[in-house]
Amino acid sequence: MELRETGNGVDSWKEVNLIYNAALRQIETKMEILNEEFQHVHQYNPIEHIKARIKTPESIVKKLRRHGYESTIENMIEYVNDIAGIRIICSFTSDIYRIAEMIREQRDIHVLAVKDYITYPKASGYKSYHMIITVPVYLSDRIVDTKVEIQIRTVAMDFWASLEHKIHYKFEGDAPEHIQNELVECAKLVADLDARMLSLNEEILAIGQSQEERQ
């Protein structure tokens, strides 16, 4: 991303904020259109809902310092990949990979990195599918390829992750061992619930298809 030469940190941040917000709106719109098109073709919505956010300047500074970088606009753009973040919540684990594939097939989206915490969960039990992508933001005088982090997870995974996030900040990353162990056990229950709900949904679809074929 290239900034205009304003010489003013505040103006530079305002421009960065504008560009990242524009990138988020583009991704949100793309996902809404894909969801509607999927409903039209398959009579099914893979996306339950979408959450979008811009990382606060305070969070950005903390992340830069944690990784040993100076708190500059340039470092922020270069080294912080999740300034613009979008979370896509779906019903079933199969939807996660279906949505990820739909994102990859968008011609103006370039995938920079993928972390599949569904197949390879974190030790804490955290599950989600992460993508770092760039999307072009069209300004009056140039096109800016802008990074966005996309997280795709089920409703159950999102519920677990929300609680884990609160606990992490409550104890500043050092929760008591029994709470950490309980979270891991809850993550196993969530995984089992997701698997059972997916199996149930597939059985329902199979019954529906069988009934249609007999008619």
Question: Residue 144 in contact with residue 19, Cβ under 8 Å?
Answer: yes
Predicted pLDDT of residue 122 = 94
How deeply is 67 buried, as exposed, middle or buried, from its count of CB atoms within 10 A (0-12, 13-18, 19+)? exposed
Segment 96-119 shows an average pLDDT of 96
For residue 154, the cross-strand partners are: 90
Q: Is the pLDDT of residue 8 over 50?
A: no
Beta carbons within 10 angstroms of residue 76's beta carbon: 22
Predicted pLDDT of residue 128 = 97
Does domain 9-157 bear CATH number 3.40.50.300? no
Name the residue ranges covered by the structural domains of the chain. 9-157
Segment 91-103 shows an average pLDDT of 94
Beta carbons within 10 angstroms of residue 145's beta carbon: 14
Question: Residue 99 in contact with residue 88, Cβ under 8 Å?
Answer: yes
Q: Which helix (H) or strand (E) holds 87?
A: strand 84-90
Predicted pLDDT of residue 69 = 93
Query: Average per-residue pLDDT in the chain?
Result: 90
pLDDT, greater one: 40 or 213? 40
| Residue matched to tokens 């979270």 | 183
pLDDT tens column, 125-167: 999 999 999 999 999 989 999 999 999 999 999 999 999 989 9
Q: Is the pLDDT of residue 3 over 80?
A: no
Three-state secondary-structure class, residue 90: strand
Beta carbons within 10 angstroms of residue 162's beta carbon: 10
If pLDDT is split at 50, 70 and 90, which confidence band does 215 have? Answer: low
Within 13 A of 26's CA, how many CA atoms are on the CB side? Answer: 22
Question: Residue 78 in contact with residue 60, Cβ under 8 Å?
Answer: no
How deeply is 61 buried, as exposed, middle or buried, from its count of CB atoms within 10 A (0-12, 13-18, 19+)? middle
Instruction: Please tell me whether the overall predicted TM-score, pTM, comes out greater than 0.85 for this model.
Output: yes
If pLDDT is split at 50, 70 and 90, which confidence band does 204 have? Answer: confident
